[in-house]
């Protein structure tokens, strides 16, 4: 429509987010609807920058990451996402999509959240789609579920929506969460490990299909979310941390009980978890969360971040440690 006219080229930046209440399991694979609501903090480090430029004469999309052509499944997901955008925009124009990630190489930190949030914002602008944040969040979700949350800064909740209903696609999106005075640090311990053996997409499917612990975790995650919202409103770091830690450990328990088991936690992961326990014994509030990989994110007060980072660094000499705070939502760089 005229009010969403495109200029054919746009650049967007988005940051990754770390879930305090996890997304693990889909109710609709095609629409990327989650089984449960999830809640996250968007980071102020590791931005992804994506430029989308329409090329009227091109026959294929050109998709690069860090200057190198994307191939295989990674490329297929981006092209499928562009096909969805084109369908909605009534366009057949191909695009050049160039993405730069700042995540440390080989870190195993999911960049699909920042990646598809940046792509949703840039592609919507380039093709002239709705730029309302809710619409962008729904769209980003189609690329990768967790990307729906990176459209927003600080803390965001992603609603599971109404799978199977006529408005299913419209019903699932993220939105900002109200908190009290609350700006914690997240100390990110990137432990040494090879590439993950199972993609999170395949791993969550196997967990839902085979793990006897999945349904109990999903049910308890509902309670965790309600308690988490209370804790965030109070700005109560200990409560936020305790709830986040048990929700994450429960999620990993569902995977460990899958058949065959999915195990992302490695020996260095457990070493970091031990150091988090030791910090707590020493009177430093610190709580751990882990995603689809061996890395550990430690929630703590900002004033304790350097001490926590030093302890974690000592625990995994071969790793790298980064300190993050709450960061901004996805945005266009060039209007």
Chain positions contacting ligand 2P0, by CB under 6 A:
19, 22-24, 32, 38, 110, 112, 144-146, 200-201, 291-292
Closest CA to 217 of 245, 173, 170, 253: 253
Q: Please report how close the Cβ of residue 306 comes to ligand 2P0 at its closest, in angstroms.
A: 26
Q: Which residue lies nearer to ligand 2P0 by CB, 38 or 211?
A: 38
Sign of CA dihedral 55, 62, 78, 50: negative
Phi, psi of 148 (to 5 degrees): -55, -35
Q: Give the CB-nearest residue to ligand 2P0.
A: 145
Q: Please report how close the Cβ of residue 1 comes to ligand 2P0 at its closest, in angstroms.
A: 29
Q: Please report how close the Cβ of residue 24 comes to ligand 2P0 at its closest, in angstroms.
A: 6
Q: Which residue lies nearer to ligand 2P0 by CB, 54 or 174?
A: 174
Contact 326, 299 (CB under 8 A): no
Q: Which residue lies nearer to ligand 2P0 by CB, 128 or 327?
A: 327
Q: Please report how close the Cβ of residue 142 comes to ligand 2P0 at its closest, in angstroms.
A: 9
Q: Please report how close the Cβ of residue 129 comes to ligand 2P0 at its closest, in angstroms.
A: 20
Q: Which residue lies nearer to ligand 2P0 by CB, 114 or 124?
A: 114
Q: Which residue lies nearer to ligand 2P0 by CB, 187 or 204?
A: 204
Q: Please report how close the Cβ of residue 212 comes to ligand 2P0 at its closest, in angstroms.
A: 20
Q: Which residue lies nearer to ligand 2P0 by CB, 174 or 305?
A: 174
Q: Which residue lies nearer to ligand 2P0 by CB, 251 or 279?
A: 251
- Contacts for 192 with CB less than 8 Å, ≥ 6 apart: 268, 316, 318, 319
Q: Please report how close the Cβ of residue 193 comes to ligand 2P0 at its closest, in angstroms.
A: 15
């Amino acid at each position: 429509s005229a009010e969403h006219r495109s200029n054919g080229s746009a650049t967007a930046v988005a940051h990754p987010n770390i879930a305090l209440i996890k997304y693990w399991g889909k109710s609709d694979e095609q629409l990327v609807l989650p089984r449960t609501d999830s809640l996250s903090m968007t980071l102020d480090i590791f931005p992804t920058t994506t430029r989308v430029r329409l090329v009227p004469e091109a026959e294929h999309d050109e998709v690069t990451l860090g200057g190198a052509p994307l191939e295989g499944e990674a490329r297929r997901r981006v092209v499928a996402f562009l096909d969805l955008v084109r369908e909605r925009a009534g366009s057949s124009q191909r695009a050049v999509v160039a993405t730069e990630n700042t995540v440390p190489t080989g870190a195993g930190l999911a960049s699909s959240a920042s990646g598809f949030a940046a792509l949703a914002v840039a592609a919507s602008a380039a093709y002239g789609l709705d730029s309302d944040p809710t619409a962008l969040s729904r769209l980003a979700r189609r690329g990768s579920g967790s990307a729906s949350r990176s459209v927003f800064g600080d803390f965001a909740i992603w609603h599971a929506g109404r799978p199977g209903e006529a408005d299913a696609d419209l019903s699932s999106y993220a939105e900002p969460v109200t908190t009290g005075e609350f700006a914690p640090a997240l100390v990110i311990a990137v432990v040494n490990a090879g590439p993950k053996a199972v993609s999170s997409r395949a791993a969550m499917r196997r967990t839902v299909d085979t793990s006897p612990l999945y349904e109990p975790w999903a049910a308890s995650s509902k309670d965790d979310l309600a308690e988490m919202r209370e804790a965030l409103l109070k700005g109560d770091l200990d409560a936020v941390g305790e709830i986040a830690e048990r929700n994450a450990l429960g999620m990993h328990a569902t995977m460990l009980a899958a058949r065959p088991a999915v195990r992302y936690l490695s020996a260095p992961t457990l070493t970091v978890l031990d150091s988090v326990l030791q910090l707590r014994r020493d009177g430093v509030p610190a709580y751990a969360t882990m995603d689809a990989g061996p890395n550990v994110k430690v929630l703590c007060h900002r004033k304790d971040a350097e001490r926590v980072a030093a302890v974690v660094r000592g625990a995994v000499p071969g790793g790298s440690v980064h300190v993050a705070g709450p960061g901004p939502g996805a945005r266009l760089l060039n209007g």
